[in-house]
Chain A
Amino acid sequence: MDTRSPTGPVAVALAAAGGMTVLGMALSGAGLRRSGRRVAARANAVVGAADRRTAVTAARRLNRASGTLAASVLFDSAVEHYRGGFHNKAMYTPLVAATLSLLVSAHGHRDRGHDAELARDLVYAGAGLAGLLGTGFHVFNVGKKPGGFGWQNLFYSAPLGAPAALCLSGLLGWLSERVRDNAPDTAPLVLGIPAGRVVGAATAAGIIGTVAEAGLLHLRGQFHDPFMLLPVTVPPVAAGFCAAAAFGGAGRPRPLARWMLRASAVIGLSGSAFHAIGVARSMGGWRNWRQNLLDGPPLPAPPAFTGLALAGLAALSLLEDQPE
């Protein structure tokens, strides 16, 4: 018996989840190639003319990205702060902010109009602020513990990276409003910079931060399962492509970037499935859920990658649509 590899039903479950991930990545790749061709064709057809509908589509995509991140933050902070007994009332903040961000993202997703909404803007700005404050709180808490900013506290104390996901949700939402709110027949701009570039750069940075968080926690878990390498290998490549697109030439298709982003999106969703298997493998399995949902791998965390990948895809659409 090889004690380094899981056995029995766990192996089956892992193989199933792994297979689904690979299959999903392959499918998204196939879809990519098709859409890549489609976009290329369209880009050739309408050279230089920004399409307002594309902007709205991209904005709604950003809403979905923001909403996915918000959902991840909502459930993750609910679990983690429940574990902390909400001993500080401020620990409810991310729940409120993420819920609101989720709601306005849903609203934005349904909204096919061209105008930014003040309410959405306010909520997104609030989420971003709450994320910043949360990061500050967590930094403060870690700093005052014995061991300071050593590995031990990075592993087990308030996670420094988690509130940043709320920041990103707010930021992407705010960007979605800017993209939506562009003048007719112009490429959407944010602070005078083409929106695609801003969203692409923000997404790349967000992915790298999330990779750092996943890497830290998977290092804590000693990468005991080879699939734990996925979130620290594929998304960084996606982030690289995304950044290359953001800083590179516009108006052309980037099928590889799309491929990697969609793969990252699949990894995010299947990560939750992997984590569910991890909970089942813990002592007592799901029957001991009151312990294992908290101590086991976090179910709500991985979809943060999905949210960011969606944002990256929106950025790519904007960039492809942007005149050279």
Chain B
Amino acid sequence: MVIVSALKKYFALDSKQKEFIRTGQRIFLARPEELLTFLKPLAGFDKECDSARSRCGLFMFLVILGWFVMMIFTGGEPSIFSLRPATIHFFIVAIFFTLLFLYFFFRKIDIHNNLREFVVPIINSISQDMNKDEKIRLKLDFRGKCIPAKQLKQEKHDPGWFSYPKETITFYRDNWLDGSAILHDGSKLFFSVTDLPRKLERSKKNPRGKIKSKTKYKIKHRIKVGLALKNKNYSFNENERLTAAGDRLKHKQGEKRNVISLTRVLISNSVDSVVEPISMLALIGKILMSARPATVKG
């Protein structure tokens, strides 16, 4: 039973993990193993939580449907196992409100799917290339994309009382992932994902005089990856492959390191859309494919 399993997984989380669910943000400086020990149960719980929420919704629908069918077939006087109709109605209402409570509970403790479908696989992959004692610096912020604290600006087009269409466009900036790590070869890796949601709320009057409201989202996911490669290990060649997919390249030549960063922008139209791990791993791979073994001084 997925609802029971989700509750079990939630109550099995430790206080710090529950605090992360409650606050939605945390800064880590930890070894990859510690980080994954913290994040894996959250990812497992979140997956179960999503299934449990949809199951609650389905059961609520079935309870209402069953209640209607029962009312029709029994003429409003249901009788099961010689229970009185009032008792049956009480049980149905109790089941419905329990499911409703669980539905809102699971919604409240839900974490954005980017945690389990992006952050955990990325940390998992990066950690394979780190020495065990090196630490990852990681800043996560899953408080929500369109909260007042993340609002950049708002534009209102209001023609006045009872005049339509009215339009409000709100811009947000959500830097939900930011981190860095030292890789096995001594290169320093930086990575971040910033979502730039644009929320459009439009109200208009249709020809029959009804007022219709719509909310639309357009989200730019800005994925940024940087690698500081040691000059003694690598020589770096700027080439067309780096910017082939429209990725933006920045390159700074230092005395000891070459710092290369690539930025990719993806667009979606839902605040629930998930960034695929490949979009970040591909950028890291592109930078490393443009690196050649350095000329040895000898």
Do the two chains belong together in a single complex? Answer: no
